[in-house]
Structures are given as structure tokens and as C-alpha cells.
Structure 1
């Protein structure tokens, strides 16, 4: 029994070898030729297509690789739209601080740099000093960044 199976397998080998040299569906003649000779193709071309384009035909002995671009943008989707800065997107701490600052300026309270009320001038001086310190720190950062 084992001999019959071995003889049948040996007799079917030439048929399998002949079937491998014929081009399969979607396989070009140049691909079959490359497989027979074992040499790499002269040219490999990559083509990126949009959704509506068709893959062009290969020219000569080249291998053509077509890919469809799903997402043509290089920026990740999560970073394309900047985050919202409206009141609903802010934390309660930021909302409360903004309301407090607006209320202080409107009421002319001390340290508000407001033209209304008697304590507004102290706030203007404090605001100028804070702005000066921020500009000085920025300049120091810029100077230290340059080698």
C-alpha cells in the first residue's frame, strides 16, 4: 500500500512543476519570468493612490506596488483640532479665578489696576513688576538656550 502512494506522488511531481510556471490570477508575465530566472526585477515602483484612482499597468520589467492612502494627513487625528478654550471646557478653578478677577476689576478693589476706586494704582504697579519679571525670565531662558 505504501509503495502505491509513493509511486503516485512521484508521478505527480512533473504536473506540479508545470503548474507552477503558468501565471496565476493577478500574476503578470514579468513576475513569472522573475520567478524562473531568480533575478530581481530591474525596477520596483511604489504608487500611492487616492480612493478613486486605479493602479496603472507596469511598464516593461518593473514590479508595481499600489497602495491606497486612507489618511492623507500627517498630523494625527487627535491633534488636528485644537482644544476648546470656552468656559464649558475649563475647570471650576479657572472659572472661579476668572470671575474673581473680573469682579475685583469691576468693583475697583485694591491691587486691581483699575481706574475706578482709590486702590487701583497699587495694582498697576504690581502688574508692571510681574510683567518685568516675566520678560526678564524669558530673556534668561533665551540666552541660556543659545550655546
Structure 2
């Protein structure tokens, strides 16, 4: 009897995990920059030499990073072979000694209960450090500059539009007063 209940529980848990495993990629696809910025799409392009940058269309922001023509067919800089020094700095060795004896929760250690829990955080911190110190194109900064450029033109466009609306309103009021005066003049004449 207990075995049957355990099998049902295990089956329900396995099916729930399977549903989550297949649903996660679909959720990840929707969480691009479209979700964080409304309906705006960002097209990131690297152009070489004097190649033209593709024009933006509609709500799409096109950000071009220009590199010299000599870089067109080369291996990207982050992937090129980097000669590493054969000797390691003493400070790096000392950093390794600081982690000796660290185990347990959030330690990213194979020792102790919950030692694995810090590995994801360590991986995220390494990735952030690589991104911050990377020599590759920083599209985030280029996108922000493009947004600021677009937002700077919105105020001028809005002011022009407001001025034209006010001119139209004054002309409409003048026509309406003239029509009212004409209508009162025709009713007083008889």
C-alpha cells in the first residue's frame, strides 16, 4: 500500500519537473529586451571599414559598432591566443589559500552539506567580472546612447507639434467667431 502511494507521488513529481523543463525555454524566449523595454527591438550589428550601418525602422533601435577593415576576417580579440605568463603572481596564490577550509552552504565546495550552493553565485560573479573587463564591443553602452539620442528629439518634435496644434486651434476659434457673428447678423436683419 505504501509503495503504491510512493510511486504515485514520484510519478506526479517527475511529470511536474518534465513540464517545467519544457516550459523554461519558452519563458526564456519571451524575456528578451522586448519585455523590459516595452515593444522596442534592438538590432546589434558590427560593421567594418566604411560599410553603411543599416537604418532603423519603426520601434527598432539599430546600434552599430564600427571596427577597422583589417579586423573583418580576423578571429575576434577575446578568442585570439593570449600568451600567459609561466609564473603566477604571489597574490593569486595567497587568494587560493584564503579559500582553504571554507566549506558548507554557499562555499562552492565538494565538502560538506550544501557546498554546491555557492557555485552558481561564483559563476555569476566571474561572468560579471569578465563582461566588465572585456575588450569586446559594449553594446549596452551603445544602446543607451541611441536611446538618449532618440529621447532628445522627442521634446523638440513635441514642441513643434504643440505649436502647430495651437495655431490650428486659434484659426478654428476665429472661424467659429466669424460664423457666430455672421449668424447673429442674419438673424437681426429682419
Tell me which of the two structures has the higher relative contact order, counting C-alpha pairs closer than 8 angstroms and 6 or more residues apart. 2
Same fold (TM over 0.5): no
* Structure-2-length-normalised TM-score: 0.22
* Structure-1-length-normalised TM-score: 0.27
Which structure has the bigger radius of gyration?
1
Decide which structure has greater helix share: 2
